[in-house]
Amino acid sequence: MSASPSVSAVARIAYLASDDLLNSLSPHAPSPFQAYLNKLSGSSGDRAAVTHLPFGADAGSTLLRHRSARLLSYTALAHPQHLNQLLLHLPELSSTSTVFHVAVTSDLSDALVLQSSLPFVLYSRTAQQAHDHALLASRLAFTESTAVLHIFHVGDESESVEEADGDRIAPFLYAERQSPRGSEQKSTLDPSALLKVYQSAALATVALVRRPLRPLTQHGASEPHTVLFTLGRAALSYNIEGVSFVDVALLKPLPSSAILGAVSPSVTRVIVLEQIHHWSIKWTPLYLEVVSAIQQAELSPSPVVQSGLLGEASTITESDVTTLIEKAAAEAPSARLALGPAPAAQTAASAPHVPKHEAAYTKILANLFAGRLEILNSPDLVSQQGEVATTPEFALGRARGELEEREELVNAVHELLRDPDVTIEVHSLLSRWLAAKDDGVKSKQLGDELAAALEGEKLTSSAAQKILILRRLLPARSRWIIGSDAWAYDLGASGLHHAIASQLNVNVLILDTTPYTTRNSADPHRRKQDVGLYAMNHGDVFVASTAVYSSYAQVLQAIMEADRYDGPSVVLAYLPYNTEQTPALEILKETKLAVDSGYWPLYRWNPAKERAGKEPFSLDSDFVKNELQQFLDRQNHLSQLSRSRPELAAELVGSLGENLKQARKQRAQQSYNDLLTAIDAPPLTVLYASDGGRAEKVAKRLATRGKLRGLSTTVATLDSISVEDLAKEEMVVFVTSVAGQGEFPQNGRTFVKALSALAGRGEKPLTSVRYSVFGLGDSHYWPRPEDAHYYNKAGKDLDARLAQLGAERFASLGLGDDQDADGPETGYKAWEPLVWKALGVDAVAVTEQEPEPITNEHIKVASQYLRGTIAEGLADASTGALAPSDTQLTKFHGIYQQDDRDIRDERQAQGVEPAYSFMIRVRMPGGVCSPEQWLLLDQIADEHGNGSLKITTRQTFQYHGVIKRHLKTAIQDINRALLDTLAACGDVNRNVIVSTIPSLSKLHSQAYDFARRVSEHLLPRTSAYHEIWLDKKLVAGDAIKDIEPLYGEFYLPRKFKVAVAIPPNNDVDVFANDLGFIAIVENGELAGFNVSIGGGMGVTHGNKKTYPRAGSIIGFCTVAQGVDVAEKVMLVQRDNGNRADRKNARLKYTIDRMGLDAFTAEVERRLGYALAPARAYTFDRNVDDFGWVTGEDGRHHFTCFIENGRIQDEPGRDFKTGLREIAKVHRGTFRLTANQHLIITDVATEDLSTIKRLLAEYKLDTLSYSGLRLSSSACVAFPTCGLAMAESERYLPILIDKVEKICEENGLRNDSIVMRMTGCPNGCARPYLAEVAFVGKAPGTYLMLLGGGYYGQRLNKIYRETVTEPEILAILRPMIKRYALERQPGERFGDFVIRAGYIAPTTEGKAWYDRMGGEGEHREIAVAA
């Protein structure tokens, strides 16, 4: 239910006026208050603290805990369960400053149960009245320290509200009181005195809103014979002779004088109409007030007073009122009248709303127990059984009834077995069914056969008839009750206790939706009880804690174990979301935070194992140790184990000592730093915040230069120092770069948050500190005028914040701009002398040479052929990371160190190191994998990684989430699969990729053989890989005899990539590679290759010295010459590449610096012969051909669509399991494609049906995707890639959902448009050759590129430098529509946007920036000249 104008108005007033605001959530549909209050809470300003109470929670006790608030507000949609619970607390709450805002849809019955216990009750029938009464109620409660009930109608969207200015509400509340205060005085006030208090508050409210507020409003005849008092939504504004209408707005206090004032002497009949349809006593509240007033007045003659029900307002007409008055005259005074029909909602119960996110679990249940799943409290039952059908009590009753009936069925089977007249066939079926009665599959099959046999035999015994009557229970059912975490607030009242104690074979799935990041916003006194602990204490209950967005496999295992367990089972399921609009990506991040921190551990507790003498507890989450002390303090299951089994507790908390070691190291380092500062020289502290390392280099260089000038200098990250320690420093220099949209880098955010908190409190703790700030940024990174303030925002904000905290600036803010002639050095050179001058060392002559900075080249040459200290780092259990220098070397071994960036900030706040893990990339030339290898690789993913396999754009597998202690065993297992990871990364030749055209089986075989020979020939020869990972011994008495005949001890300047393309499909994007071989086929045979050199994708944002480049064809070579050509091209790059600047070290820059002809001449000189002229070829696409195809050898091949290459099991898409099952029976091979998809190849005709059946079973044969989706590709990006600036793999499918709708609207669903996305500009998904591409710049912000060639022959160009999703859709919508209408036959999207004048073509890499930003009317205004 969305917030109507009246709900929004009341919620706003309550939020602005209160100190604390409590909102009770609705039972099924979303609360009308919730979303609006969340929106208000997200806005700036110091307003009410909002707490949402789950449905069923006792709001009264929570309100009492907040009774000290100056004003306390409570909001709820009327429901008997939470309003009736309030009754017990109202005597205490009545003397507190509390406003109860209760919204009603039609019937006032539920809300009016509160009126007898509260001194003031206001009623609003319109949205405007609800707004004004909310102000009046707040004023009354605040000034009189009394509780006020405000009942108002939800209303509809057609109403309008004129709202009071928010800035005037506080002065309105605090204005001088017009009435006495104090509970002692109020307790003696009679209704007339209370009315004066109301009138005083009403006058103040009228002064604010400039609208009248009256307790009763009378209209109609001036001398009436009949008066109608109305309490309800209907506004009876009719001119009926002799009839007057009184609309009641103040229900309590309602003095007799006010009522009698509306009853003139001419009145003979009074009718009281109330919109109350479920009142438990005979007479309604307003009727009693009116009758009492008239009787006490002893009017003569006394009018007849009659009661009536007020129905739906929309259908009441003037004639209905006339008919009512006529009927009243004819009826007895005690008869209950009615005006208008009763609310339609009373006639039928509607099924409750089930949030869509719950499908993540319900689909798993449906898939696992297809045909035998029974949701005992299914919402579908509501239409027949009413709302009670969704309660656990009802569900438990159903379960008990069915289980008792099944027991009767079993007894009947036993009885029939003893019947001598039963045939042998039936007897056998009865026996077999009894043996398999608990087996979900067999019991159904045998049950059907048994029922059919009994019907055929026409047995008349009572046992046989009983079996047929109960035949529906022959199949074993999996019975589940599904509930929410609201059950955890009161286990007894929720019925959950009865399920746990029932000993019935029933399963309970409890969904907990509280997001980790908002876990502390709930009332701390109302903590949910730990259902898991509660159930485990019972001793005979299976308990599991699961999270589908953390471990899908663990959810499956837990649910299957729960189903097998003979007794009650409780499965706790984590599903954190605020609204149904919460994207799955946010749920994933919240889940990871919760599981990693120990807030939501994953475990299983199986009493059946304990009875068998086994360990009943299984811990399934790796990161439960991170916050274990707090986790144990929560008294969950682990705290119980730690008391009963101390050895387990000791094992679990053992790693906490590592944090202590780290703290001691830092303390020792600090002591050493303190010693340095005692030296008689001006001290200087240099603090930096850096993500990419550039600011760190600047800071360390400055510190080094300070030491050369005789200063005692220390250098550290911002987060390594507290504000208290900073206050002790004298001279401090800050160096910071910028992350995202003006944000601070990760290692400075905690420090900056601390500064902001102090500034918010107005403190000035840094008055003794003198400082200067140097910021690094790119003025062109945010080219639009409205985004210009993001330039160097971190440095500017830090400079201003330090001054705000009392620090004194000794040198003005320095700003380094990437766009300056010398980059940031231009600004740095002007700023650094100011620092030395302020420190008084500007005249010091520096004679000692400044140390050369450590670079990758130093690390490589000192590594002893890629050994470094990797082995020692692997043995260091004090950290999950390796040394920084070793992380550069492990890349050569196919390993990248990463950490989970989704939880990086949270772990930093906890004071623990990042959640380090490693990515392992397999070397698999040509992407060919046998079924035996597949099964081993699949097993490695489960045992050592995060359970998934990632197909990369270089035709190989990546494992993510491998922790350090698993690295070695993982690589040894990969080696057992006859594969390795050597040279999968690093400054060497990477995995050689090959076009996959299964129909050309012979040609592919030849190309694959060539690629494998190139890969083996260019492989590094160091024995370090086998020594470190495979425990091979050093040669010749431990003396290192390694030599690198091709690479030398420096290896290459940068990575080197080789691709082999087989026309007409350029699926490998051959022109994106340093070296490309384009197969030339003559007379059906592979004659040789055209040679392409100088392709490359990597770019640095804002650095125009970097650019992508498409390869250049330099000639033709034979197959026999190919390996030699590859070697010589690589060697020329080895000897001529730029080793001083890694950003300009790729082959593409070497070629552009030397010139293509000069580079080619050097290659030919080393070859000893000239390459032949290039030969003709044709490319027509670079996307995969999906579906079945038969090769020239008669064998069959199927290309599966694997979105962005991620092979994992998900609800409804168990791809990983499916491919494992295929690998068990497949007798051919698997081929990975460079577009991140998979081909099941070489399927024999006799195996075709088996493979097709498995593909269909696991939905791997689904190809009904749009052409756009089939042509898309994305890199990994968040959460593991350390270079990612924005989402990619997790976001591109979401974006495609929206773009493909545009395509479908324009008839382009099946048209291929190549769209690619990367999280950073390094280009892993080859975005710069796509027709449409998005390159991450900051979270949610991308560079947009257009105009790439459909078959990878042309680079695209920057169209917009900064776009977000709404801008992307706004740009593409008219562009795609125009493409659909105006394209020429066969014209591709990338070609069209050039012809239509959207973007200029890119003719070469060096011209990539020329004419960027669009053409003509499509040009981005903010693009710099």
The mean per-residue pLDDT over the stretch 1309-1317 comes to 96
Q: What is the pLDDT of residue 1367?
A: 94
pLDDT digits (tens, 9 = 90+) for 904-936: 888 877 778 899 999 999 999 999 999 999 999
Q: Which token pair is 1032?
A: 């091979």
- 920 vs 391: which has the higher pLDDT: 920
Strands 1075-1082 and 1085-1093: antiparallel
pLDDT digits (tens, 9 = 90+) for 112-161: 989 888 999 999 999 999 999 999 999 999 998 999 999 999 988 889 99
Question: First-to-last CA distance in the chain?
Answer: 51
Q: How many angstroms separate the CA atoms of 1313 and 1304, rounded?
A: 13
The mean per-residue pLDDT over the stretch 1029-1039 comes to 62
Q: How many angstroms separate the CA atoms of 57 and 81, rounded?
A: 9
Active site residue 625: no
Q: What is the pLDDT of residue 1424?
A: 36
The mean per-residue pLDDT over the stretch 1269-1286 comes to 93
Strands 507-512 and 569-574: parallel
Q: Which token pair is 1223?
A: 């690998």
The mean per-residue pLDDT over the stretch 494-515 comes to 83
Active site residue 1220: no
The mean per-residue pLDDT over the stretch 750-773 comes to 91
pLDDT digits (tens, 9 = 90+) for 200-234: 999 999 999 999 999 999 999 888 999 999 999 88
Q: At residue 391, does pLDDT exceed 80?
A: no
pLDDT digits (tens, 9 = 90+) for 950-980: 999 999 999 999 999 999 999 999 999 999 9
Q: What is the pLDDT of residue 235?
A: 81
Contact 635, 536 (CB under 8 A): no
pLDDT digits (tens, 9 = 90+) for 37-72: 888 877 656 678 888 887 777 788 889 888 888 999
At 631, the pLDDT band (50, 70, 90 cuts) reads very low
**Active-site choice (125, 921, 964, 1128):** 921
Q: How many angstroms separate the CA atoms of 765 and 783, rounded?
A: 37
The mean per-residue pLDDT over the stretch 566-586 comes to 88
**Active-site choice (1281, 1290, 1354, 1388):** 1281
Q: What is the pLDDT of residue 1257?
A: 93
Radius of gyration of the chain (CA): 38
- 1077 vs 86: which has the higher pLDDT: 1077
- 74 vs 368: which has the higher pLDDT: 74
**Active-site choice (252, 406, 990, 1388):** 990
pLDDT digits (tens, 9 = 90+) for 784-814: 777 788 899 999 999 999 999 999 999 999 9
Active site residue 363: no
**Active-site choice (929, 985, 1117, 1324):** 1324
pLDDT digits (tens, 9 = 90+) for 859-870: 999 899 999 999
**Active-site choice (398, 901, 1057, 1290):** 1057
Q: What is the pLDDT of residue 521?
A: 62
DSSP class per residue in 858-882: HHHHTSTTTTTTHHHHHH-TT-SS-
Q: What is the pLDDT of residue 1086?
A: 93
**Active-site choice (269, 1275, 1316, 1326):** 1275
HSE-CB of 976 using CA atoms within 13 angstroms: 11
Q: What is the pLDDT of residue 444?
A: 86
Coil/strand/helix, residue 49: strand
**Active-site choice (1055, 1290, 1316, 1354):** 1055
Task: Kindly report which listed range (399-408, 845-854, 1385-1394) carries the lowest average pLDDT score.
Answer: 845-854
Active site residue 1224: no
Q: How many angstroms separate the CA atoms of 56 and 24, rounded?
A: 8
Q: At residue 566, does pLDDT exceed 60?
A: yes
Strands 1238-1243 and 1112-1118: unpaired
> What ranges in 145-237 are assigned the alpha helix state H?
169-174, 183-187, 191-209
Coil/strand/helix, residue 344: helix
Contact 925, 991 (CB under 8 A): yes
Residue 1271 phi, psi dihedral angles, 5° rounding: -100, 10
Q: Which token pair is 722?
A: 């507290």
Mean confidence (pLDDT) of the chain: 87
At 991, the pLDDT band (50, 70, 90 cuts) reads very high
Active site residue 1057: yes
Coil/strand/helix, residue 916: strand
Q: Which token pair is 428?
A: 């056998």
Q: At residue 1038, does pLDDT exceed 80?
A: no
Among residues 898, 897, 1055, the alpha carbon closest in space to that of 986 is found at: 1055
At 345, the pLDDT band (50, 70, 90 cuts) reads very low
The distance of Cα 1415 from the centroid of its chain, to the nearest Å, equals 38
Active site residue 709: no
Among residues 747, 690, 734, the alpha carbon closest in space to that of 831 is found at: 734
Active site residue 1320: yes
Q: What is the pLDDT of residue 523?
A: 52
**Active-site choice (929, 985, 1303, 1320):** 1320
Residue 1058 phi, psi dihedral angles, 5° rounding: -125, 140
Q: How many angstroms separate the CA atoms of 1007 and 1004, rounded?
A: 5
DSSP 8-state class, residue 1141? -
DSSP 8-state class, residue 1263? -
Q: What is the pLDDT of residue 315?
A: 82
At 348, the pLDDT band (50, 70, 90 cuts) reads very low
Q: Which token pair is 186?
A: 């109020």
HSE-CB of 1402 using CA atoms within 13 angstroms: 31
- Helix or strand (DSSP H, E) at 131: helix 127-144
User: Which residues have CB under 8 Å from 474's CB, separation 6+?
Assistant: 409, 433, 443, 444, 446, 447, 448, 450, 451, 467
Active site residue 985: no
